[in-house]
Structure 1
Amino acid sequence: MGLDIIAYEGLAKNTSLKFIDGDVYNQQQEIVDIPENALIAFINPAFPDRARDIEDHCVYDAVDSFSFKAGSYSGYNQWREMLAKLAGYPETRLEINGTEQSQHAFGAWVATAGPFWELINFSDSEGVIGASVSKKLSADFATFDEAAGTVGDVEFYELFQEWRRAFDMAARDGAVSFE
């Protein structure tokens, strides 16, 4: 089990399908399969500003999509910590589940903006990031690409490239879905 990412490009709302209680219905109120390259949008209520251009629980058709595994939840959080350090967030102490911990990612959590802020300060399990935020993140990945390649961790940089590809794609009227 872990975090799966699906990036979509060229989204258009499918007005002939409705998502209700976990099923997709056509106009005749029949349950149908989810179309290929379709996004069922779930806007994480803790981060609604990440998907201002997406309507919650709607079905969208995409021109193109691709997916990748971002790792186990703990592995993704370790990667996100490395990203926060690369972006220059200060190591910050927070109490998590009764234990005081220190991480660069916490520096992003208490910030209000910065490189990769919308990704680092986002759910590690579910939600969607829309095109407008993806454009900003795409630019962040482009800006930090060379520095990311010099971190000295091949797996970090390979995953960095996957995320960059995802946000480059989503910046073209798409979205990135965390599942």
Structure 2
Amino acid sequence: MPAVAHAGLDVTAFEKLVLVPVPQVDKDGQPTVKNQVKLSPGEIVQRFDGLSAGAVYHYDQAFDFRAGSYSGYNYWRNELAKLAGYKPTPFKSFNGNTELRYDATVWKIQTGPFWELIDFSDAEGVIGPAVCKRVYLDFVKYQSAAAQHPDAYFRSSYQDWMKAFAMCANDGAIVFH
């Protein structure tokens, strides 16, 4: 994966992952062969469905994009929850202020449009192919509504995320880093 030198959420989507039975790795266990990546679930293991922890995979294609600064990504994620029709919920932020947030509603449930993405880390982790297939269908379903969103940043980010989920729905994974 490419090294990134700025704070925020960067994402890499991998397409057509195939387990490498006997990978060539360096002293740190990282693959040394082109188009290979070692994947581990991070803290939210349920999103890793369809992959083996610590395994090395070969991939056909990769797509890197910046999902924004942490605050920018959290703005986008809240707008995504609003677009999907979730109701706002009071949320006490880290600075002690209470505000109405649509994504806070998602954090309290176990299902719904974009649930697996909205209720996920904003820093690191991996979403595997089983979850990617479900979430990609949400991106397709809400694409017309997203195209009408008044914020160009939201629309552009939606397209990046949709491309990433389309790729990972094809036996791939999305890595947050």
Q: Given the two structures, how large is their TM-score scaled by the length of structure 1?
A: 0.88
Query: What is the match of residue 74 of structure 1?
Result: 71
Query: Which of 111, 114, 120 matches 1:113?
Result: 111
Q: Deviations over 1:143-168 (max 9, x none)?
A: 00000011111111111001000000
Query: What is the match of residue 175 of structure 2?
Result: 177
Structure 1 residues 104 and 43: CA distance shift in structure 2, 3 A: same
Match for 2:57: what amino acid? Y
CA distance, structure 1, for counterparts of residue 166 and residue 103 of structure 2: 23
Residue 60 (structure 1) aligned with residue 57 (structure 2): yes
Structure 1 residues 115 and 164: CA distance shift in structure 2, 3 A: same
Q: Give structure 1 stretches of 5+ with no counterpart.
A: 26-31
Match for 2:16: what amino acid? G
CA distance, structure 1, for counterparts of residue 130 and residue 120 of structure 2: 15
Q: Deviations over 1:53-104 (max 9, x none)?
A: 1112221110111111101111111110110110111111233447234210
Query: What is the match of residue 42 of structure 1?
Result: 40
CA distance, structure 2, for counterparts of residue 19 and residue 89 of structure 1: 45
Aligned to 1:24, the other structure's residue is in SS state coil
CA distance, structure 1, for counterparts of residue 95 and residue 155 of structure 2: 33
Query: What is the match of residue 163 of structure 2?
Result: 165
Aligned ranges 1:73-112 → 2 under 5 Å? 73-97=70-94, 99=96, 100-112=98-110
Q: Given the two structures, how large is their TM-score scaled by the length of structure 2?
A: 0.89
Q: Are the aligned partners of 1:127 and 1:177 in contact in 2 as well (CA < 8 Å)?
A: yes
- Greater shift, 55-64 or 67-76, is seen at 55-64
The structural deviation recorded for 1:19 is 6.8
CA distance, structure 1, for counterparts of residue 10 and residue 105 of structure 2: 25
Structure 1 residues 58 and 19: CA distance shift in structure 2, 3 A: farther
CA distance, structure 2, for counterparts of residue 61 and residue 76 of structure 1: 29
Query: What is the match of residue 23 of structure 1?
Result: 28
The structural deviation recorded for 1:135 is 0.6
CA distance, structure 1, for counterparts of residue 122 and residue 34 of structure 2: 25
Match for 2:148: what amino acid? T
- Greater shift, 122-131 or 99-108, is seen at 99-108
After superposition, the CA RMSD in angstroms is: 1.9
Structure with greater strand share of residues: 1
Structure 1 residues 104 and 19: CA distance shift in structure 2, 3 A: farther
Query: What is the match of residue 12 of structure 1?
Result: 18
Query: Which of 128, 152, 155 matches 2:153?
Result: 155
Q: Give structure 2 stretches of 5+ with no counterpart.
A: 1-6
Aligned to 1:177, the other structure's residue is in SS state strand
- Greater shift, 125-134 or 8-17, is seen at 8-17
Query: What is the match of residue 3 of structure 1?
Result: 9
Structure 1 residues 69 and 98: CA distance shift in structure 2, 3 A: closer
